[in-house]
Amino acid sequence: MPPPLHVAFLGGTTGPWETISSTAVVGPGLEPVPRLAVVEGGDAVPEATWTLRGFTSNERYVERAERTSLVERQPGLGRAEAEAAALIPIRKSPAWWDLTQDERRAILEDRSQHIAVGLRYLPAVARRLHHCRDLGEPFDFLTWFEFAPADTDAFDELLGLLRASEEWTYVDREVDIRLMRSPSAG
Amino acid sequence: MPPPLHVAFLGGTTGPWETISSTAVVGPGLEPVPRLAVVEGGDAVPEATWTLRGFTSNERYVERAERTSLVERQPGLGRAEAEAAALIPIRKSPAWWDLTQDERRAILEDRSQHIAVGLRYLPAVARRLHHCRDLGEPFDFLTWFEFAPADTDAFDELLGLLRASEEWTYVDREVDIRLMRSPSAG
């Protein structure tokens, strides 16, 4: 388990990722930007149209058997073939945060199979979760996904399953930003 | 469940709390300071000999039945009679953070009764937990306790039980700072 990594996502005119689409799934969207940069580490970041910050942390729900399956199958970020990416910021409702640990786990996995569904799309879809509610940010989580363009349909299927789950009834804001790696203008 | 509150603990020469003792329980201590100030909110804080930062957050382990008991019995901070306080920063080892959620819960409560033991000392001892590992701070948690001076023995008994638990074998740094409210010099 690596130590927490602070990551800033900068929407603006620079960065190696070109925006393909930005969709407000639930609640208000984010201002459309041509490019996105991802800055790792806690340092000061350049000005941008918008900046979303979060940190990786210890897993909040994963149990041992699930960790074993995840570690066996989950790829790292930065694979050469993974030229498509998505940044999906979500916020969960106050009702979610009022639940206790056992109730959140029951909804997230026992009834929504969030972890099990995600496993079915490994190793095609690499994923890194960033927490941000505790920073007072506008979203609670920023999830970053990387996959080969040919796996876009599979990725959409994964999102469809999650969005149809009981867990997602607690999502009160979600934006879906699709990107393609395009280093030339970086 | 209130939204996360960012809190800074400033060890120095000002603030309403006078230091009675500062003990390095495990690992290096903190530089002794005559007074402590507690600043709530994310704003800039004045210079101090040392500053420890953390945030309140959703509970990571508490289940519904435990929450019900806690809510019934736990007092708020700032009671007039609670003139004694303690700030106990702890860090847990990499081995703790490598555990999965089910393993951490089993150690924390099933085998160490952290929540159940704490309940026995309510409502005498008020407590607020601040998380800080995710901020890259030197400690993982800052716990702030307030109690009447007459309850100091009970508070010491509570700490003794926790420090003898299996959970505490994962604590690799702990400092125990005792304070008394002393507004005159604040």
CA–CA separation, B111 and B83 (whole Å):
33
Identify the pLDDT of residue B180. Answer: 98
The average confidence (pLDDT) of chain A is 96
pLDDT of residue A184: 61
Pairwise CB contact (< 8 Å): B100 & A62: yes
Model pLDDT for residues B134-157, shown as the tens digit of each residue: 999 999 999 999 999 999 999 999
Average pLDDT for B30-34: 97
How much is the average pLDDT of B127-138? 97
Question: Where does the pLDDT of residue A102 fall: very low under 50, low under 70, confident under 90, or very high at 90 and above?
Answer: very high
What residues in A contact B97, CB-CB < 8 Å? 1, 58
Q: Looking at this predicted complex, what is its ipTM?
A: 0.93
**pLDDT tens sequence across B62-96:** 999 999 999 999 999 999 999 999 999 999 999 99
What are the tokens at B109? 């409560």
Nearest to A101 among B3, B6, B63 (CB): B63
Alpha-carbon distance of B108 to B48, in angstroms, equals 34
Reduce the DSSP state of residue B182 to 3 states and report it. Answer: coil
Under a CB-based contact definition with an 8 Å cutoff, are residues A105 and A63 in contact? no
Backbone CA torsion sign across B3, B177, A55, A99:
negative
For A112-128, the three-class secondary structure string (H helix, E strand, C coil) is CCHHHHHHHCCCCCEEE
Q: Is A21 exposed, middle or buried (0-12, 13-18, 19+ CB in 10 A)?
A: exposed
For position B184, what pLDDT does the model report?
A: 60
Cα–Cα distances (Å) from B167 to A58, B107, B120, B171, in that order, read: 17, 6, 18, 8
> Which of A60, A103, A135 minimises the CB distance to B101?
A60
- Tens of pLDDT, residues A7-39: 999 999 999 999 999 999 999 999 999 999 999
Kindly determine whether residue B100 and residue A133, on different chains, have CB atoms separated by under 8 Å.
no
